[in-house]
Chain A
């Protein structure tokens, strides 16, 4: 006969405090923050002008656009998928919105036209992303393949509506948004708002929790009663929405919308997420990590220029950072498996990008 009192209770009630310290990402976020700080100090020593308000502000501005892409990409990668289409999505939404604005702008500051343009860019991004999500979830197709396809489609559409030419002739208010500011550039206000929105959504809501859960175990989410089709639709939709905002801000900042805008951002967006601790196996990552990852990339880019190194070195450095980050993730995973030797980790050995349905 079993006597329950023989068994020792060990789960204690006192542990519900200090939720920040209990986050599994606390240590790793501190670690990459340390790397960022070291890089800033290092470049500050090597290039005296590096630590100045102007230089730091230009680093932040150059981070903004690809960080926006990286926010959505972080969501998608944590869910166990990948979105290759967000670069073209940036171009497409920037173009659609740009064509609208240049066609309907006559004179004056064009505030209304510029704000309508923002809404159009957001809607185009959201819908394009949702299409990705529906196709991936409903048809149970591999996200890598689906978004590789839509990457081409979105870029094609961007070329088509402008015959492949960049457009400008935008309302002056747009340039204010892209290059003016209130204390700090408007571009950064938009980005900060997006970071807070995506960060809150991921860390503090049910929707965010299911992103992690889906990346860790699709079965768990399905059996928990979550409608995975709807979830995937919004998930990819939000990645598109962020790309739409980036497309609009890119047009505003560079004062032109081009069908090839953003093509260079896809890989650095993925890199920012990976450097920030998001693992391609899914189930792990944070927005804060991605923000730090994006800043590391920008600091490298700008710092290399300032110390007078040829720009391809910065590509090499970012590439090395990505591989090192993936290597450390992998190392941790292997130690975990080796130290435990248990069945629990069999799921972690899945190939990445396995999301289907």
Chain B
């Protein structure tokens, strides 16, 4: 475990009827990129949804920078600096780029006491953020539905960056993207990681994670079965953990 523990979870448990989606899962996330991999139904998305406040766990404790926190809703998670990118993105297609970035946190200025949207300031700040992280979008006034899948991901990402999230949760963020878009998305992520963010990414792309991640967590049937550093293992090792032909927990 390199760096400090930024985000720590203990004993997170969730069942759906008879299905144990998560079994007393504990993990510590530090700065850098942690990849979560595992077979279909391993509980990865359930884990991410609990961390982002979308799903309520049956049990579990959460600590952010050592302090116990209660992640009761997506809004609360955001307030704590935990931002997530969902597979479906949750962007409003008919709103433009900056309106999406500021959705729910619009900037207003008071005119005769009435809070009116400060469009200019939102547009300017959005453009600044996009420029900062070198996200390639023609204009912040573009309706989001006119953007490509990769650009849409970038908008969602820019939102997290603008509001200065310390923890970023990504559930298969590049699943719907082409190779080129995946590439540029990953570059942005690497930029954030270099900037000291804590990024937790669920993915099925093992080779890519062996390149990018600082740590890899492998899940199977609702459990964390291994936690490894990519340089210590081979892809075959990781696959073996995933399917259960190896069960040793290393670090």
Expressed in whole angstroms, the minimum distance between the Cβ of A327 and any Cβ of chain B is 19
CB neighbors of B among A127-151 (8 A): none
Complex alpha-carbon distance, A213 and B100, angstroms: 8
Q: Of residues B90, B93, B117, B149, which shows the largest number of chain A Cβ atoms within 10 Å of its Cβ?
A: B93
B116:A220 contact, CB within 8 angstroms = no
**Partner of A204 from B78, B117, B128, B141 at Cβ < 8 Å:** B117
CB-nearest residue of chain A to B75: A225
Q: Mark contacts of B121-164 with chain A using CB atoms, 8 A cut-off: 1 yes-contact digit, 0 otherwise.
A: 00110111011001111111101111111001000000000000
Q: Mark contacts of A239-281 with chain B using CB atoms, 8 A cut-off: 1 yes-contact digit, 0 otherwise.
A: 0000000000000000000000000000000000000000000
B149:A206 contact, CB within 8 angstroms = no
**Partner of A344 from B137, B149, B184 at Cβ < 8 Å:** B149
Contacts of B130 in A (CB 8 A): 9, 11
Complex alpha-carbon distance, A270 and B179, angstroms: 45
Expressed in whole angstroms, the minimum distance between the Cβ of A121 and any Cβ of chain B is 25
**Partner of B119 from A9, A19, A343 at Cβ < 8 Å:** A19
Q: A7-B134, A8-B136, A15-B127 are in contact. Are A283 and B106 (CB under 8 A)?
A: no
Q: How large is the interface on A (under 10, 10 to 19, 20 to 34, 35 or more residues)?
A: 35 or more
CB-nearest residue of chain A to B73: A225
**Partner of B90 from A9, A200, A217, A282 at Cβ < 8 Å:** A217
Verify if A13 is at the interface (C-beta below 8 Å from B).
yes
Verify if B28 is at the interface (C-beta below 8 Å from A).
no
Contacts of B152 in A (CB 8 A): 344
B123:A16 contact, CB within 8 angstroms = yes
Verify if A224 is at the interface (C-beta below 8 Å from B).
yes
Contacts of A204 in B (CB 8 A): 116-117
Complex alpha-carbon distance, A217 and B105, angstroms: 16
A283:B127 contact, CB within 8 angstroms = no
CB neighbors of A among B40-94 (8 A): 54, 73-75, 78, 86, 88, 90-94
B116:A205 contact, CB within 8 angstroms = yes
Expressed in whole angstroms, the minimum distance between the Cβ of A10 and any Cβ of chain B is 5
B93:A216 contact, CB within 8 angstroms = yes
Please report the total number of B residues contacting A with Cβ < 8 Å. 56
Verify if B191 is at the interface (C-beta below 8 Å from A).
yes
Contacts of A200 in B (CB 8 A): 116
**Partner of A16 from B95, B120, B147 at Cβ < 8 Å:** B120
Complex alpha-carbon distance, A9 and B93, angstroms: 23
CB neighbors of B among A196-219 (8 A): 200, 204-206, 209, 212-213, 215-217, 219
Contacts of A10 in B (CB 8 A): 136-138
Verify if A351 is at the interface (C-beta below 8 Å from B).
no
B103:A213 contact, CB within 8 angstroms = yes
Q: Of residues A222, A336, A345, A348, which shows the largest number of chain B Cβ atoms within 10 Å of its Cβ?
A: A222
Verify if A53 is at the interface (C-beta below 8 Å from B).
no
Expressed in whole angstroms, the minimum distance between the Cβ of A77 and any Cβ of chain B is 13
A220:B92 contact, CB within 8 angstroms = yes
B120:A209 contact, CB within 8 angstroms = no
**Partner of A13 from B124, B134, B145 at Cβ < 8 Å:** B124
Verify if B176 is at the interface (C-beta below 8 Å from A).
yes
**Partner of B131 from A13, A212, A213, A336 at Cβ < 8 Å:** A13
Complex alpha-carbon distance, A126 and B149, angstroms: 41
Verify if A2 is at the interface (C-beta below 8 Å from B).
yes
Binding site for B on A (CB under 8 A): 2, 4, 7-13, 15-17, 19, 22, 24, 200, 204-206, 209, 212-213, 215-217, 219-226, 282-284, 336, 340, 342-345, 347-348
Would you list 29 pairs from A and B whose C-beta atoms are within 8 A, ordered by A residue? A2-B187, A8-B136, A10-B137, A11-B127, A11-B135, A15-B140, A15-B141, A16-B120, A22-B141, A24-B96, A205-B115, A205-B117, A209-B95, A212-B95, A213-B92, A213-B99, A217-B93, A219-B86, A219-B88, A223-B54, A223-B74, A224-B103, A224-B104, A283-B94, A283-B95, A340-B148, A344-B147, A344-B149, A345-B93
Q: Which 8 A-B pairs have the closest CB atoms?
A: A224-B104, A283-B94, A225-B75, A216-B92, A11-B130, A7-B134, A213-B92, A22-B141
